[in-house]
Amino acid sequence: MTWLVTGGAGYIGAHVVREFLAVDMRVVVLDDLSSGHRAFVPAGVPFTRGTILDGGLVERVIDEHDVSGVVHVAGFKYAGVSVERPLHTYEQNVDGTTVLLAAMADRGVDKMVFSSSAAVYGTPDVDVVTEQTPKAPASPYGETKLIGEWLMRDQSIAAGLRYTALRYFNVVGSSADSIYDSSPHNLFPVVFEALLAGKTPRINGDDYPTPDGTNVRDYVHVGDIALAHVAAAKRLDAIEPLEPAYNLGSSTGVSVADIMAAIARVTGIAFTPEISPRRPGDPPRIVANGDLATRDLDWQMRHTLDDMVASAWSARQAAGGAE
């Protein structure tokens, strides 16, 4: 049996691939390299460059590698940009998932682990989000992730698909210096690039009703996220029950000011963040309860905040003149 990881050359997908290899599970990668990096795929792992929008290609990969399950990480993941590019976001995330599911059905592949997002909740009116918290996505990106969950639900009813969705929040850190977060929109790389350019990082708002006035969010290590994907795949292989969706969160969260202090501490680069006005729509606090994932997927926060920063910084330094 072989698991296909779509988007397996990306920051999160490449970590998932490494965890499959660590438990001796066969894995193949399909990625169009629009945001991933070929170098992130470990040597010896079969790799096909292409898009999930190409159903014929997906079917060929499934046939050639005897694929029995899919971890679907590929997608357009920039929530803010999705507001400016809604059609592109829907094409990549909804059309792509539909084509992928159709190819799976045609080839008798009935297992999927789906990379979902906290964005399905939008701006909740509770401090701690559970899987039952009402869904109210506030961006095309969040909408497409929720639709992806609906597509799997409906395909489960129609064709017997067995699946789960993993909703994660702010993914940070690295489990290998060869894999780093190259997103131009995520907090850690934005701060790192500012420091490397000799600029001062910025905090958007310090007047929220939180202990230090800055937003409180869930930050989870990418290695822990990857382990949860593999645990879900194992349960699907073993025909063990899974919830339709799991939150991968800490239940506590950390503030943006705490993140900045940890980055200064770990990198040894002293700085005092500049304070900018709040961004419209940013809630004071969003963290997720991960109890269901702990019960079923051995979900744990295995890394301290300093661990997360140190691993991310080490990987970024190893990348040298990264893009």
Catalytically active residues, by annotation: 141
Q: If you search the block for the tokens 């969950």, which residue do you land on?
A: 149
In angstroms, the CA 275 to CA 289 distance is 30
Eight-class DSSP state of 46: -
Contact 153, 315 (CB under 8 A): no
Q: How many Å apart are CA 35 and CA 101, to the nearest integer?
A: 22
Q: Which two tokens stand for residue 122?
A: 């939008």
What are the Cα distances from residue 320, in Å, to 12, 171, 193, 311, 323? 20, 22, 11, 15, 9
Residue type for position 33: L
| 129: helix, strand or coil | strand
Q: Tell me the CA distances in angstroms from 27 to 8, 24, 30, 231, 243, one per residue in order.
A: 10, 9, 10, 14, 24
Closest CA to 208 of 123, 120, 279: 279
Measured in degrees and rounded to the nearest 5, phi and psi for residue 205 equal: 95, 130
* Amino acid (one-letter) located at 294: T
Residue type, 102: A
Query: Roughly what angle, to the nearest 10 degrees, separates helices 140-159 and 96-106?
Result: 20
